[in-house]
Amino acid sequence: MMRPDARAGLVAALVLLAMVCAVEVADGRAPSYVGLLAVPPFIAAAFGSWRTVLPVGVLSVLLAALFWVTSPSGPQTAVAVNVGAVVIAAAIAAAVGAIRQRQVERFAALSRLASVAQKAILGPLGPRVGDLPLAARYVSASAEADIGGDLYEAVDTTYGVRLLIGDVRGKGLDAVRLASVVLGSYRHVAYERADLRAILADLDRAVARSVGLEDFVTAALVEERGGTLTVLNCGHPAPLLMRQGRVIPLAPPAPAPPLGFMPMARPLVRRLEPGDRILLYTDGLAEARRDGEFFPIEDRAWGLLGHGTVQDGLASLEAALLEWVNGMLDDDIALVLLEYTGAGLAGEARTATPSWEVGDVANPGARDA
H-run or E-run covering 10: helix 4-27
- 190 close to 162: Cβ distance less than 8 angstroms: yes
Q: Which amino acid is at 150?
A: D
Are 324 and 295 in contact, with CB atoms under 8 Å apart? yes
Quick one: DSSP state of residue 307? S
Of 279, 291, 280, give the one whose Cα is nearest residue 328: 291
Buried b or exposed e, range 174-211, using 16+ CB within 10 angstroms: bbbbbbbbbbebbeebbeebebbbbbbbbbbebbeebb
Find out whether 127 and 134 touch, Cβ atoms under 8 Å. Answer: yes
The pTM for the full model equals 0.68
Q: Note the pLDDT of residue 73.
A: 64
State the Cα–Cα distance between residues 197 and 355, nearest whole angstrom. 8
Q: What is the pLDDT of residue 2?
A: 62
Greatest pairwise CA separation for the chain in angstroms: 104
- The pLDDT of residue 315 is 95
Q: Which amino acid is at 182?
A: V
* pLDDT computed for residue 15 by the predictor: 87
CA angle 143, 145, 150 (to 5 degrees): 110
Residue 14 contacts by C-beta under 8 Å, 6 or more apart in sequence?
40, 56
DSSP 76: -
**pLDDT for the residue numbered 147:** 67
Nearest-angstrom CA–CA distance, 197 and 213? 23
Q: In this predicted structure, what is the pLDDT of residue 7?
A: 78
Give the CA count within 13 Å in the CB-facing half-sphere of 161. Answer: 21
pLDDT of amino acid 366: 39
CB contact at 8 A, 196 and 356 = yes
Q: How does pLDDT run across 29-72, given as a tens digit for each residue? A: 667 777 888 888 888 888 877 778 888 888 888 888 887 777 76
Residue 333 contacts residue 282 (beta carbons within 8 Å)? yes
Query: Strand pairing partners for 106?
Result: none
> Tell me, what's the pLDDT at 344?
57
For 202-254, give the DSSP string: HHHHHHHHHS-TT--EEEEEEEEETTEEEEEEES-PPPEEEETTEEEE---SS
CB 236 within 8 A of CB 259: no
State residue 36's pLDDT score.
83
Omega within 30 of 0 (cis) for the link into 296: no
Q: Which residues of the chain have pLDDT under 70?
A: 1-5, 29-30, 72-79, 110-111, 113-120, 142-147, 212-213, 344-369
pLDDT for position 360 = 39
Residue 10 neighbours by CB under 8 Å, 6+ apart: 2, 44, 47, 48, 52, 56
CATH architecture of 126-357: 4-Layer Sandwich (3.60)
Strand partners, 133: 128
Q: Which amino acid is at 290?
A: R
Per-residue confidence (pLDDT) for residue 346, from 0 to 100: 47
